[in-house]
Amino acid sequence: MENRKLGRTDLNVSELCLGSMQFGWTADEQLSFRILDEAFAAGINFIDTADIYSIWVEGNPGGVSETIIGRWLKQSAIPRDRLVIATKVRGRMGEGAHNEGLSRLHIIDAVEGSLRRLGTDYIDLYQSHWYDENTPIEETLAAYNDLVSQGKVRYIGCSNYPAWRLTEAIWVSRLHQLAQYACLQPHYNLVHRAEFERELADVCRAYDLAVIPYSPLAGGFLTGKYHPGETSEGPRLRSARRHFNERNWKLLEHLALIGKNKAGCSTSQIALAWLLANPLITAPIIGPRSIEQLKDNLGAAGLHLTSEEQQTLDEATQWPS
């Protein structure tokens, strides 16, 4: 699997990133270990998690995904420097007024919890999960800068930032010579394009930021498992249902036809290949809940679309300018 530079850093990451929101939720620890083993064996060295995963599940206090990854690291005996581990901070972890946000107090406390759960003494990429309107960006970046200076964090990034906040953060880092966001983790896929493409793409291009999109398969919609008029159940149905419309059903037909013409590639592989064809994209974050899903996703690595196929998908999902 091809390795790519992560923005302005010297981190070489695989062209697919293994997301772990499903660990301890729709994949138990044993299955999570198998997914991690298979992914690493296939060449994926980039693992993304967050401290709050998956606090929305009943009985899950948060930190479960990080804990599973930490246990896997300990039993796998894989050298730590062969992996790029990313996690995030922002959400509420426990009770108390300072147990969420991007204040210095919360960041300094939260990073220690993540390091402990992951069983490592450094985090390759520490990301703001979403912006904090109640904390000055100078305070957030100064806290990150101290963690980088201490060697607890190698690089920093952010997720779910609008373009003006991302630009502000970069300017503040440069003005005060603080650690700078090296990447953006946006919500981006074939049926959710405008949020990234309208302004964020230009910011990432101008400042050489890596882009690691989450939900590249639109909550399972772009796998092709949903069909007009059919009802189905599943933990991701609510996320996928928002895309149920005539335009997107037609898109699935295009994806299936392109896949058929490429020796039987799956709908999800074509959707991932569309992202990988964009030179701005570093590594889409896949979130397989089974070994079968992982193997299917891996098939997108190295898959190239023709200019005609790319144009078909672009036109089918074009958003109003």
In a domain, 131, yes or no: yes
- Told to judge if 53 belongs to the known catalytic residues of this protein, a careful annotator would answer yes
Alpha helices in the chain (DSSP H): 29-41, 64-76, 104-118, 137-150, 163-176, 194-195, 201-206, 237-241, 246-261, 267-276, 291-298, 307-316
In a domain, 37, yes or no: yes
In a domain, 236, yes or no: yes
In a domain, 206, yes or no: yes
Total tally of structural domains belonging to the chain: 1
How far apart CA 297 and CA 257 sit, in angstroms, is 18
In a domain, 321, yes or no: no
> Catalytic pick from 53, 126, 131, 144?
53
Boundaries of domain holding 301: 3-316
Instruction: Kindly report the CATH number assigned to the domain that includes residue 74.
Output: 3.20.20.100
pTM of the model: 0.95
In a domain, 208, yes or no: yes
Give the CA distances from residue 157 to residues 144, 185, 212, 213, in Å, rounded to whole numbers and listed in that order: 10, 8, 10, 12
- pLDDT tens by residue, the chain, 321 residues: 899 999 888 899 999 999 999 999 999 999 999 999 999 999 999 999 999 999 998 888 899 999 999 999 999 999 999 999 999 999 999 776 578 999 999 999 999 999 999 999 999 999 999 999 999 999 999 999 999 999 999 999 999 999 999 999 999 999 999 999 999 999 999 999 999 999 999 999 999 999 999 999 999 999 998 888 766 666 566 667 788 899 999 999 999 999 999 988 999 999 999 999 999 999 999 999 999 999 999 999 999 999 999 999 999 999 986
